[in-house]
Amino acid sequence: MSEPGSGGESLLFLTDEQLRKGIEAMFFAYRGFTADPDRILDGMDYGRAHHRALHFIHRAPGTTVNNLLNILGVTKQSLNRVLRTLLDDGLVESRVGKQDKRERHLFLTAKGAELERTLSDAQRARMRTAYRAAGPVAVQGFRQVLEAMMDPEMKRQYLALKEGGA
């Protein structure tokens, strides 16, 4: 039985108790993760769904509606409701595709980019504080565990975004 400190790998970090703590940490941390943007959006006519759309359009300018649908993991009807308001309010611009005229390519307007920046600044500020407090080694572990937690398809999406932005 692998004894802790005996030189072999201790498996004590895989006990149900440790796993439960990890689960609860995810629950409480995710609340903090979304708290700042939520606070900013509260009072505007937008919500978390608008934030997500803005984020990924910012990340992948010119993305198609279908692509965004896959990334966000919602139905087109659900996305459409959100996208509709962003388009009407002039935060997002939709351009007909040049190769394929069925596709719509999405871009942030100056106004949209401004709101995106406000939201992501707030979210990054918390992230930065947490990163700084935990240190670079912890951050690497953080990312490793999160990646291992994703569904394969989600991980594919995540890595595709990472490459594009690197």
Partner DNA sequence: CTTGGAAAGTCAACAAGGCTGACGTAACTT
Partner DNA sequence: AAGTTACGTCAGCCTTGTTGACTTTCCAAG
Binding site for DNA (CB under 7 A): 45-50, 52, 64-67, 69, 73-78, 80-84, 94, 96, 99-104
Q: Which of 73, 78, 84, 95 binds a second copy (CB under 8 A)?
A: 73
Q: Please state the closest distance from residue 37 (CB atom) to DNA, in A.
A: 10
Name the amino acid, one letter, at 42. Answer: D
Name the amino acid, one letter, at 50. Answer: H
Query: Does residue 110 sit in helix, strand or coil?
Result: helix
Q: Please state the closest distance from residue 67 (CB atom) to DNA, in A.
A: 7
13 near a second copy (CB under 8 A): yes
Helix (H), strand (E) at residue 134 = helix 110-134
- For residues 91 to 120, the per-residue mask of contacts with a second copy, x marking binding by CB under 8 A and - elsewhere, is -----------------------------x
Written as six digits, the tokens of 28 are: 């409480």
Q: Which partner from the list DNA, a second copy, none does 141 bind, CB cut-off 5 to 8 Å by kind?
A: a second copy
> Taking the CA atoms of the chain, what radius of gyration do you get in angstroms?
20
Burial classification of residue 116, based on how many CB atoms lie within 10 Å of its CB (0-12 exposed, 13-18 middle, 19 or more buried): buried
Q: Please state the closest distance from residue 102 (CB atom) to DNA, in A.
A: 4
Cα torsion angle, 143, 144, 145, 151, sign: positive
Q: Which of 7, 25, 107, 113 binds a second copy (CB under 8 A)?
A: 25
| Closest to DNA by CB, 69 or 154 | 69
Residues 6+ apart with CB under 8 A from 114: none
| Closest to DNA by CB, 58 or 103 | 103
Q: Report the C-alpha gap between 166 and 155 in whole angstroms.
A: 16
Q: Which stretch binds a second copy (CB under 8 A): 82-90, 91-99, 105-113, 149-157?
A: 149-157
134 near a second copy (CB under 8 A): yes
The answer to whether 68 touches 56, Cβ cutoff 8 Å, is yes
